[in-house]
A and B are shown apart, each in its own frame.
Chain A
Amino acid sequence: MDVLTFLLEPLQYGFLTRALAVTVAAAVVAAVLSCWLILMGWSLMGDAVSHAVLPGVALAYILGIPFSIGAFVFGAGAVALIGIVRSTTKLKADTVIGVVFTALFATGLAIVSATPSQIDLMHILFGNVLGVSTGEVWQVLVLGALTLAILLFKRRDLTLLAFDRTHAHVIGLNTRMLSALLLGLLALTVVVGLQAVGIILVVAMLITPGATAFLLSRSFDRMLVIAVVLTVAASVAGIYASYYLDISTGAAVVLCQALVFTAVYLFARPDGVLWQARRRRAASRSGSGSTIARSAAGVPPTPTPPTQMPPTDLPAADGPTAGAAAAPPSASRTPDAALPGEA
């Protein structure tokens, strides 16, 4: 079988072209959103919202309304509920998120089990991308385009919110509104994505592309582009793998994204773990710690990854300043710095 046949054969089937369209559209939107989600420290929030939409989807099927309406209502409701519980107790955010989304997920399971004939639970949980109708394709494309347009239009504010929420507040931006906007768009993205890969695996689409791109980027715009390119590649590869290997489509797409992440984690230059290990070996061979000597001489360790505080200034500080540098940030960092609950 030549390459062209390999590529074109699956596309003869209408259901596979529709699956490809839905998966790529959902993956692109989720990848763009994931860049902010992981920088905000909201990955768990993506997990929560995607699970919390189950009762909404189930009720929508029962009532005969579009599943996206039910899913969005419950996704946004979960976000609001998390915010309320968070701001009225002293519980930490991850605890509140855990309590709320499992309760909603269980509610969904209860509803589904009470009306077994109408709903295929497996399709909601793991997606049914090979069974989507043309109408559902349009639903995904329109919602996806809308979400993407808002995200890109407000991208600078959202990046500022993720980077320095206090500064955003101090220059008069409404940080609560921005948080609420991002969470609303998260709910929309979940709605878009669950058609493609289902409730469980949409979480991967919301986290993995951003995480992969983060390892490769030092500027945010570049991170967005990398996330989109890699996720499109993984989605297409996943669909073909699903066709030729006869495995679940959602699983194949998410596995391809995980493979891309693994490859970047291991092989990316200069920060992949294999290159790190190689540098360490080279450093230990060429005598003890050249980087340490460089730091002490006040040379910024430019080739090293930017994950560490360069020690350049620290050795020179003495007395109270040194103590200050090592001191914990006292009460100044509010526990809600990474908190979606505020919205």
Chain B
Amino acid sequence: MTALDLPATVPVLGVRNLSVSYNDVHALDDVTMSLGAGRICGLIGVNGSGKSTLFKALMGLVVPRDGSVELFGMSSASARKQGLVAYMPQAEEVDWTFPVSVSDVVAMGLYGRLGAARRLRAADRAAVDDALERVGLSELRKRQIGQLSGGQRKRVFIARSIAQDARLLLLDEPFAGVDRASERTMTALLKALRDEGRSVLVSTHDLAGVPELCDEAVLLHRRVLAQGDPFQVLTHGNLALAFGPAPAAPAAPPAPSVATVGSTAAPAAAPAAPPAAPNGES
């Protein structure tokens, strides 16, 4: 485990007044958030609320209209060059028919610090073995990735970020298509990584696991609706703002009047079951 020579006061992730537009559509509007070392943050919102766009901005894949992104007190590009950032794609973004094995994918975490031909030395192979061991996939290392279950597939990518020794893990919808048992395994794994001083940003629109997993939460709907302690963020009023009532015009930010309507209409729903959330997605 390499210690990082960065002052503890520098946030792992610092986003200031970030706005991102695709042509005329405002995907993110004036988002400000930060994350310290050794913290797990849940990024909560419906599909289309800007979670993926925020991830892309953090990774330098979209150009902000306004505002700034800093990772470990430096530019996103510098942090990426140093291998500090890891990303777990959504299941739909991965070609599961691709002819790579579990250990091939985990080894890809090391490429940033290998020679030009990316040949693995003994120490690198050991790093791959260790990462596979930690996520419990040693037995399945030779499997083609499409031959894994949903939960195992997610763990391959967590192992990749362990092999990479990344300090900030960006996980895009890690619990989608994963059963409860796998979700518990992953939660324990992520907490262990956090306890080593790594930071994790988890996007999700499934609220059930958030208080169990996350140290803090950010509720996003193009703007930051609430952030802080997960229990305070996930109040009925806030959830109504983010998830329901089903938006009539998904492309527009919620009108101010929705707040009052939503906060009185929503209390019937339990916090663990957002009202009609996945149905109103854009």
Residues of A within 8 A of B (CB): 39, 153-154, 156-157, 159-160, 162-164, 166-173, 214, 217-220, 222-223, 300, 302, 306-310, 312-314, 316-317, 319-321, 323-325, 327-334, 337
- Chain A residue at minimum C-beta to C-beta distance from B281: A327
Of the candidates A169, A171, A217, A329, the one having the most CB atoms from chain B within 10 angstroms of its own CB is A171
In the bound complex, do residue B177 and residue A220 qualify as a contact, i.e. CB atoms below 8 Å apart? no
CB <8 Å contact, A320 and B277: yes
Task: Among A168, A173, A310, A321, point to the contact of B176 (Cβ < 8 A).
Answer: A321
- Out of B27, B100, B273, which one reaches A220, CB within 8 Å? B100
Is there an interface contact between B206 and A324, defined as CB atoms closer than 8 Å?
yes
Decide: A329 and B278 in contact? CB cutoff 8 A: no
Q: How distant is the Cα of A302 from the Cα of B142 in the complex, in angstroms?
A: 13
Least Cβ distance of B53 to chain A in Å?
7
Q: Is the CB of B144 within 8 A of A219?
A: yes
- The A contact surface, by secondary structure, is helix
Residues of A with C-beta under 8 A to B80: 169-172
Quick one: which of B77, B118, B170, B273 contacts A156, CB cutoff 8 A?
B118
Residues of B in contact, count (CB < 8 Å) = 72
Tell me whether B216 is interfacial, beta carbon within 8 Å.
Answer: no
> Contacts A156-B118, A163-B98, A170-B86 given: A333-B92 contact, CB under 8 Å?
yes
Is there contact, CB below 8 Å, between A157 and B149? no
Verify if B274 is at the interface (C-beta below 8 Å from A). yes
| Given A223-B99, A320-B208: A171 touches B93 (CB 8 Å cut-off) | no
The reply on B96 being an interface residue by CB < 8 A is yes
8 Å CB contact of B147 from A220, A300, A316: A300
Give 10 new A-B contacts, CB below 8 A, not counting A167-B87, A219-B99, A310-B147: A170-B87, A172-B82, A172-B83, A300-B147, A313-B182, A314-B177, A319-B273, A321-B177, A330-B48, A337-B93
Selected A-B contacts with CB under 8 Å, 25 pairs: A157-B111, A160-B111, A163-B95, A163-B100, A163-B108, A164-B89, A164-B94, A166-B59, A166-B93, A167-B86, A167-B87, A170-B59, A171-B109, A172-B81, A214-B99, A219-B99, A219-B100, A306-B97, A313-B178, A317-B179, A321-B176, A323-B277, A324-B175, A331-B53, A332-B92
CA distance A333 to B61 in the complex (A): 12
Chain B, residue nearest A156 (CB) = B118
Query: Could you tell me if A171 and B164 are in contact, using CB atoms closer than 8 angstroms?
Result: yes
Residue of A168, A218, A307, A321 with highest tally of chain B CB at under 10 A? A321
| B274 cross-chain contacts in A, Cβ below 8 A | 320
B117 touches A156 (CB 8 A): yes
Contact of A306 among B53, B109, B146, B277 (CB under 8 A): B146
Per-residue interface assignment for chain B, residues 188 to 219, with 1 indicating a CB less than 8 Å from any chain A CB and 0 otherwise:
00000000000000000111100000000000
- Residues from chain A with Cβ under 8 Å of B160 in the complex: 167
Q: A154 vs B119: C-alpha distance in the bound complex, in angstroms? A: 10
From known contacts A153-B116, A321-B176, A321-B178, infer whether A313 and B111 are also in contact, taking CB-CB under 8 Å.
Answer: no
The answer for the CA separation of A309 and B148 in the assembled complex, in Å, is 9
Question: Would you call B172 and A169 a contact (CB within 8 A)?
Answer: no
Instruction: Contact check, B101 vs A218: say whether CB atoms are below 8 A apart.
Output: yes
A247 CA to B8 CA in the complex, in Å? 75
Does B263 sit at the interface, judged by CB under 8 A? no
Q: Say whether B144 contacts A306, CB under 8 Å.
A: yes
Q: Is the CB of B89 within 8 A of A316?
A: no
Chain B residues with CB below 8 A from A331, complex form: 22, 27, 48, 52-53
Are B148 and A310 in touch, CB under 8 angstroms? Answer: yes
Cα A167 to Cα B164 in complex, Å, equals: 11
A166 to B88, CA, bound (A): 9
Question: Is residue B42 contacting chain A, with contact meaning CB distance below 8 A?
Answer: no
CA distance A35 to B105 in the complex (A): 18
Contact assessment for A309 and B144 in the assembled complex, using a CB-CB cutoff below 8 Å: no
Residues from chain B with a CB closer than 8 A to the CB of A154 are: 116-117
Q: Which residues of B contact A159 (CB under 8 A)?
A: 100
- Which residue, of B85, B93, B151, has the highest number of chain A Cβ atoms within 10 A? B93
- Chain A nearest CB from B218 CB (Å) reads 17
Residue ID in chain B nearest A324 by CB atoms: B176
Is there contact, CB below 8 Å, between B149 and A171? no
